Amino acid sequence: MHKLWLLKLVPQHPPGKWLAGLLIFALLFGFFSFIEAGDTGHDPPTLFFSLIVAYIIPVFGHITARSKQLLLELRPLLEVDDEQFAMLMNSLESARKRDLLLQLGGGALAGTLHSALVMSASGQGIRDLVSSVPGTLTTVGTIVVWMLMTTVVYTLVQQGLVFARLGARHVHLSLGTWRRMLPFGRVAINSSLALLGALALYPLIGLEGGMHSMEILPGAIATACPMVAI
């Protein structure tokens, strides 16, 4: 098992997470702001790229830390030994190397397909899109955002499944313990709110550049569906 790479990008303590998010936003926004419009007909969606990356990385770290805390709160109710519990805690922030590669590869593939759909909808060819710096950055930015969101969504779903299996198989229930079951619901709420925040940023793509709806809908749908499932 390997610790998720996104969790290595920000400090573990809460103030550090949010400061890292502000720094990421400042760096990305400053960089994209210096890029002039090219032959693609529009600038890269600077605000969207900057905000969603700066938002999702620290929020994902916060949600994961919160899930670990909620699992600790449930420990007295769980019919598992200490070794099993340690493995459960580790599973919230780690994944097998194969899964990590599948997340990144799947995100890169989805981002590439998304870019191809945008080119098809706008009547552009790949040479038109990558013949200028703004076009290249838009393509690369789209792929990177898909890789980030694929990793986050996949992991949040997996975290939810960990709690779902525990609730179904390993919880000791009694009349006096139902209030202590609230962490199960909080996990789902936290994950859904995190994805809802990301979903709210997608309209910025159209507001910034007046782009085709095909640039907004695939990512928005891919974020909304897991949010409903969670």
Q: Are 70 and 183 in contact (CB under 8 A)?
A: yes
Cα–Cα dist 45/31, whole Å? 12
pLDDT one-digit tens code per residue, 25-76: 999 998 887 775 544 455 678 889 999 999 999 999 999 999 999 999 988 8
Element (H, E) at 81: none
- Report pTM: 0.85
pLDDT one-digit tens code per residue, 92-116: 999 999 999 999 999 999 999 988 8
Mean pLDDT of 135-147: 88
Which pLDDT band, with edges at 50, 70 and 90, does 127 fall under? low
pLDDT value at position 100? 92
Round the average pLDDT of the chain to a whole number and report it.
Answer: 83
pLDDT one-digit tens code per residue, 155-194: 999 999 999 888 878 776 665 666 777 888 889 899 999 9
Cα–Cα dist 192/199, whole Å? 10
Full DSSP string of 130-191: HSSHHHHHHHHHHHHHHHHHHHHHHHHHHHHHHHHHHHHHSB---TT-GGGGHHHHHHHHHH
User: Which amino acid, residue 70?
Assistant: L
Q: Are 91 and 3 in contact (CB under 8 A)?
A: no
CA proximity to 228, closest of 156, 142, 165, 143: 156
| 222 pLDDT higher than 50 | yes
SS3 145: helix
Characterise 41 by phi-psi region: left (phi > 0), alpha (psi -120 to 50), beta (else).
left
| 139 pLDDT higher than 50 | yes
- Both tokens assigned to 14: 């809460």
Q: Are 103 and 150 in contact (CB under 8 A)?
A: yes
Tell me the Cα Rg of the chain.
20
pLDDT value at position 40? 47
Query: Domain residues for 118?
Result: 2-229
Of residues 138 and 146, more confidently modeled: 146
pLDDT value at position 209? 56
Which pLDDT band, with edges at 50, 70 and 90, does 124 fall under? low
pLDDT value at position 213? 66
Among 2-6, 59-63, 129-133, which is the least confidently predicted range?
A: 129-133
The total number of structural domains that make up the chain: 1
